[in-house]
Structure 1
């Protein structure tokens, strides 16, 4: 179900709100039938993304609160964490730094809450390197 603006071609365009058959909901900007601009996507199973969209995908800066209590605030590129971001894990650990293809990659800082330790250094494809 969709409530909102359309363009002359009959595509969702401008401000609108969509409810999908799986219970998910999106409210925000559309361009030529796709989520594009600023918007909020709420997942029926839990979780909310609020931020930038491009061509129907998370793109640019946004915040994703996952249903397990973790959250990410930072940059996305075509639906994946890419560039700078801060990820807060549900155990209290925090990683802040660079991401590539959903993985910690490049310079970053990981704070282990329980152990009260911090690793600052280079990450590669989600793993710490010896350069820290």
Structure 2
């Protein structure tokens, strides 16, 4: 890809589809999970350059909104498991430290 972003995984009829891994050169983030029509779509894990990890459902390259169950691991070893609403913790959830 032009910006040195790279993808490794399944292609169907020449399109990124199925399971794969995409590394974003500009942000140094890595997504591992499901793709549909070239977009992050389905269950996936995004690991950010600062060590934070978001695991949950994706829809058309975005964290699933308005609600969804996620696991969020931060670089300070906090682990949140629960629901998000519009990218914010909301509803039932627990936070622990590893």
Q: TM-score, normalised by structure 1?
A: 0.61
Structure number with higher relative contact order (C-alpha < 8 Å, ≥ 6 residues apart): 2
Distance across 2 between alignment mates of 1:65 and 1:104 = 18
Distance 1:106 1:33, change over 3 A: farther
Aligned length: 93
Distance 1:30 1:75, change over 3 A: same
Q: Where does the alignment leave 5 or more consecutive residues of structure 2 unmatched?
A: none
Structure number with larger C-alpha Rg? 1
Partner residue in 1 for 2:45 = 63
1:99 aligns with 2:84: yes
1:39 aligns with 2:20: yes
Q: Give 1:33 shift.
A: 4.7
Q: Where does the alignment leave 5 or more consecutive residues of structure 1 unmatched?
A: 1-19, 114-132
Partner residue in 1 for 2:69 = 84
